[in-house]
Amino acid sequence: MRLTDYEVLTFDTYGTLIDWETGIYTALGPLIAMLDDAPTRDRVLELFAEAEAAQQTETPSMIYSELLSTVYRTMARNWAVKVDPEESARFGASVKDWPAFVDSRASLQYLKQHYKLITLTNCDRISYRGSAERLGNPWDAIYTAQDVGSYKPSLQNFDYLLEHVKTEFGLEKTDILHTAQSLFHDHVPATAKGLATAWIDRRHDAEGFGATMPPPGDYRVDFRFKSMADMVRAHQDALREG
């Protein structure tokens, strides 16, 4: 199994290409500032992960900006803090402000020379526009949770991906390498669907799972890289080796 064996790289965006943990924590700043005894950054991210996953299960058709606003209110309620609708709406609209990892844009530009690039994201269409621009608009296709009507790790999202890759590009499951950071959102369901996977282990030097829940089942990782830049170097090595 080699990186050069595939025709399509399908990506998760948030946590993989966009530094959503920095974006989330920064956007939660006004809420955290209201607390007398604020949790650590990692604990805040864990609490976000719990609230987000629960809300996505409860309301799978809610678009992501609205879902984030609801999560903000849930976290405020759990901390016994009162917030007004404008505050939660600002958090819901914050996706456009979340920064890209420093290696994402250049790595995607390189990989686009060798693969079709598709993202399977839990975002909504409007919120994703800012992220796509930050990444240099590299995508051949963008499949959002809003399009599917459910959120990863639902297998429905991966069924949608496989169906559309086949109908739009004439390619099969064996042509796809699914590339993602989140074991919970991506690697467990991708493994269940029989996809090859590349783990961009952005939290390789940190404990815990940050803004994602722990993986709820078995998963397989075919390639593991600490960054997108590492993936690019591995691809270049594979080309040199022939």
Q: What are the residue numbers of the active site?
A: 12
Structure-block tokens of residue 176: 């796809």
For 154, residues 6+ apart whose C-beta sits below 8 A from its C-beta are 60, 148, 189
**CA dihedral of residues 239, 166, 178, 221 (deg, nearest 10):** -90
Alpha helices in the chain (DSSP H): 20-27, 29-32, 41-58, 64-78, 85-92, 104-111, 125-134, 145-148, 155-169, 188-192, 228-241
Q: Checking DSSP bridges between strand 196-200 and strand 116-121, what pairing results, if any?
A: unpaired
Q: How far apart are CA 156 and CA 140, in angstroms?
A: 21
CA neighbor of 64 nearest in space, from 13, 110, 125:
125
195, with CB counted inside 10 A (0-12, 13-18, 19+), is buried
Residue 33's CB is within 10 A of a number of other CB atoms, namely 9
Structure-block tokens of residue 174: 């064996």
Residue 30's CB is within 10 A of a number of other CB atoms, namely 13
